């Protein structure tokens, strides 16, 4: 008897521990972890070279092949692979079809458009986005969950906002079928009023004025009220891209038992402050805005105490031409970071703030996999998919958009020097990226059928 591959010569990092050991892989699955001598002979032996061996990153918040995104599955997942992301979830927008909105669009149709003809390099799934306040969407939810689509996104602001009353009814329907509701939370009327005021102020056209148009209290107001709607319905709720101390506090107040209310932050909210708008201008515009250094400190406190349990990218690939050339209120929202998130967060969280490597694995691998029903992802254990990253924690380099595999032609981390680099990425045992180069063909990735997650 023999197996396909053994990865040896590295330090294995799980959500609980770090240890010197080998990983045995057969038919895309981890079949052993521990002493190499205890494994059957392998057809291939890979030396990790004294580096760390991490589970592949699971990024539950990306934007590919759809609204406000210029990345296809091929380009976006190539960036993911080079950055150590082996599984990702993106958004299927109800009514969005090839650049046009259709008010007759369905959630099922949105999911089908993503699955048709896509050739991802890493494994992918979708969150349907409910954009229409119509009872017709309720008829689709159970069927989609049966099809392995077990989470749905909603907005409280901008043109696709839904009322709190309708969101509460969605939560009640999701509670019946065990699915996850995730919501972009900013109080629309506050943001609209503040935007009008800021635009009229002296200097209001400067990008540095932008954060005042979407203040932290607007985020906190909506984060708290939506979480309470979910609790009232006994539904699973996941708050996306938490940016501020105020919003994190509002979430913490509702987490009475820690099970049914969860939330994430994003790499840029742990790394960049609102001062970046002065330097990068509209290129750094995203929603919600960057906040203060005090907010970053609070975000890390909430990552440590479990209020926030996931770090994602909110990868939005856009060209500079859609970001620059006008006042900040004409800029498209979003920044790209699939390729750089793991190295950047590692440098800030581990090197600068002293988080442990197991904690990093919890936040970027295990927790997002468990939260969104991916039981074979985000862990290094027998029976899990062999999604693995060989990571050099000591290599120092400077980030530049010239290396982007994403179609995005800029990076908010341009010129930033970080320590920690992805050396190799494996998806189900297959090497897909090697030292910054994509080495597998598009189509290796599969669309993920997800389970209804158990949040107990």
Q: Is 356 found in the same domain as 427?
A: no
- Joined together, the tokens standing for residue 262 give 């969860």
Q: Provide the token pair at 392.
A: 């050099």
Burial class (CB in 10 A: 0-12, 13-18, 19+), 448: buried
Measured CA angle at 127 (ends 121, 444), to 5 deg? 15
Phi, psi of 147 (to 5 degrees): -90, 10
Q: Are residues 222 and 332 in the same domain?
A: yes
- Say what the pLDDT of residue 184 is: 98
33 and 43 both lie in a single domain: yes
pTM of the predicted model, to two decimals?
0.98
CATH of the domain at 31: 2.30.40.10
pLDDT for 98 equals 77
42, 73: one domain = no
3-state secondary structure 272-294: CCCCHHHHHHHHHCCCCCCCCHH
Q: For residue 100, what pLDDT is reported?
A: 83
Structural domain total, the chain: 2
Q: Which domain holds residue 32?
A: 2-54+382-401+418-438
- DSSP readout, 29-81? EEEEEE-GGGSPEEEEEEE-TT-EEEEPEEE--B--SSTT----HHHHHHHHH
CA–CA gap between residue 36 and residue 24 (Å, rounded): 8
> Based on the domain organization, do 228 and 311 belong to the same domain?
yes
182 in any annotated domain: yes
Contacts for 442 with CB less than 8 Å, ≥ 6 apart: 73, 74, 77, 78, 119, 120, 121
The CATH number of whichever domain residue 101 belongs to comes to 3.20.20.140
Distance CA 270, CA 273 (A): 8
For residues 65 and 200, state if they share a domain. Answer: yes
- pLDDT value at position 198? 98
Tell me, yes or no, whether 269 and 324 share the same domain.
yes
pLDDT, the chain, mean: 97
**Together in a domain, 15 and 81:** no
My answer on whether 215 and 100 are in the same domain is yes
CA 210 to chain centre: 24
Do 123 and 16 lie in a common domain? no
> Is 449 among the domain residues?
no
pLDDT tens digits, 323-333: 998 999 999 99
Q: Is residue 450 part of a domain?
A: no
Q: Give a yes or no: residue 451 inside a domain.
A: no
Compute, in degrees rounded to 10, the torsion defined by CA atoms 27, 31, 34, 38.
Answer: -90
Report how far apart, in Å, the C-alpha atoms of 285 and of each of 129, 155, 207 are: 22, 18, 8
The C-alpha angle with vertex 390 and arms to 384 and 396, in degrees rounded to 5, equals: 150
Q: Does residue 289 lie in a domain region? A: yes
pLDDT in tens, 112-136: 999 998 999 999 999 999 999 999 9
Q: Which residues on adjacent β-strands are paired with residue 181?
A: 152, 237
| Residues 6 or more apart in contact with residue 218 via CB below 8 angstroms | 186, 187, 190, 191, 194
| Per-residue tokens: 398 | 């400077």
Tokens found for residue 173: 């329907």
Q: What is the pLDDT of residue 303?
A: 98
Q: Are 13 and 357 in contact (CB under 8 A)?
A: yes
Q: pLDDT digit of tens for each residue in the chain (456 aa)? A: 799 999 999 999 999 999 999 999 999 999 999 999 999 999 999 999 999 999 999 999 999 999 999 999 999 999 999 999 999 999 999 999 878 888 889 999 999 999 998 999 999 999 999 999 999 999 999 999 999 999 999 999 999 999 999 999 999 999 999 999 999 999 999 999 999 999 999 999 999 999 999 999 999 999 999 999 999 999 999 999 999 999 999 999 999 876 799 999 999 999 999 999 999 999 999 999 999 999 999 999 999 999 999 999 999 999 999 999 899 999 999 999 999 999 999 999 999 999 999 999 999 999 999 999 999 999 999 999 999 999 999 999 999 999 999 999 999 999 999 999 999 999 999 999 999 999 999 999 999 999 999 998
| pLDDT tens digits for range 282-293 | 999 999 999 999
Q: Do residues 87 and 7 share a domain?
A: no
447 lies in a domain?
no
- Pair (154, 37) in one structural domain: no
Q: What is the pLDDT of residue 195?
A: 98
The Cα 170–Cα 153 span in angstroms is 10
Contacts of 222 (CB under 8 A, 6+ apart): 156, 157, 183, 185, 186, 187
101 within some domain: yes
Q: Flag whether 130 is in a domain.
A: yes
Q: Could you tell me which of 423, 379, 384 has the C-alpha nearest to residue 14? A: 379
Per-residue pLDDT tens digits for 24-58: 999 999 999 999 999 999 999 999 999 999 999 99
């Amino acid at each position: 008897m023999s197996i396909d591959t053994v990865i040896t010569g590295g330090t294995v990092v799980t959500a609980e521990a770090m240890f010197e050991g080998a990983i045995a892989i057969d038919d895309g699955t981890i079949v052993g972890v521990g002493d190499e001598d205890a494994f059957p002979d392998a057809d291939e032996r890979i030396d990790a070279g004294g580096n760390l061996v991490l589970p592949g990153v699971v990024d539950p918040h990306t934007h590919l092949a759809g609204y406000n995104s210029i990345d296809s599955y091929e380009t976006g997942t190539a960036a993911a692979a080079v950055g150590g992301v082996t599984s990702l979830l993106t958004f299927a927008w109800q009514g969005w079809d090839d650049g046009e909105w259709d008010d007759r669009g369905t959630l099922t149709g949105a999911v089908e458009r993503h699955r048709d003809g896509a050739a991802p390099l890493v494994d992918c799934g979708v969150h349907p986005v409910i954009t229409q306040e119509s009872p017709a969407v309720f008829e689709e939810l159970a069927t989609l969950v049966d099809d392995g689509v077990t989470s749905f996104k909603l907005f409280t602001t901008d043109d696709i906002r839904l009322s709190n009353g309708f969101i509460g009814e969605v939560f009640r329907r999701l509670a019946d079928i065990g699915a996850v509701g995730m919501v972009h939370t900013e109080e629309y009327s506050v943001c609209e009023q503040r935007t009008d005021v800021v635009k009229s102020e002296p200097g209001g056209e400067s990008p540095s004025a932008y954060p005042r148009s979407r203040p932290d209290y607007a985020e906190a107001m909506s984060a708290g009220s939506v979480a309470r709607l979910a609790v009232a319905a006994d539904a699973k709720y996941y708050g996306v891209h938490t940016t501020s101390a105020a919003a994190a506090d509002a979430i913490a107040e509702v987490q009475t038992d820690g099970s049914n209310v969860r939330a994430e932050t994003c790499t840029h909210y742990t790394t960049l402050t609102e001062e970046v708008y002065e330097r990068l201008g509209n290129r750094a515009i995203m929603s919600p805005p960057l906040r203060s250094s005090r907010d970053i400190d609070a975000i890390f406190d909430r990552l440590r105490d479990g209020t926030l349990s996931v770090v994602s990218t909110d990868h939005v690939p856009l060209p500079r031409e859609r970001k620059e050339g006008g006042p900040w209120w004409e800029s498209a929202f979003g920044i790209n970071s699939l390729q750089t998130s793991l190295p950047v967060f590692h440098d800030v969280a581990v090197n600068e703030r002293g988080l442990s490597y197991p904690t990093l694995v919890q936040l970027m691998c295990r927790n997002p996999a468990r939260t969104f029903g991916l039981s074979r992802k985000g862990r290094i254990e027998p029976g899990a998919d062999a999604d693995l990253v060989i990571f050099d924690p000591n290599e120092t380099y400077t980030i530049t958009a010239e290396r982007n595999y994403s179609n995005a032609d800029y990076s908010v981390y341009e010129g930033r020097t970080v320590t920690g680099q992805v050396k190799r990425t494996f998806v189900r045992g297959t090497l897909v990226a090697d030292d910054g180069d994509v080495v597998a063909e598009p189509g290796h990735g599969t669309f993920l059928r997800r389970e209804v997650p158990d949040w107990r």
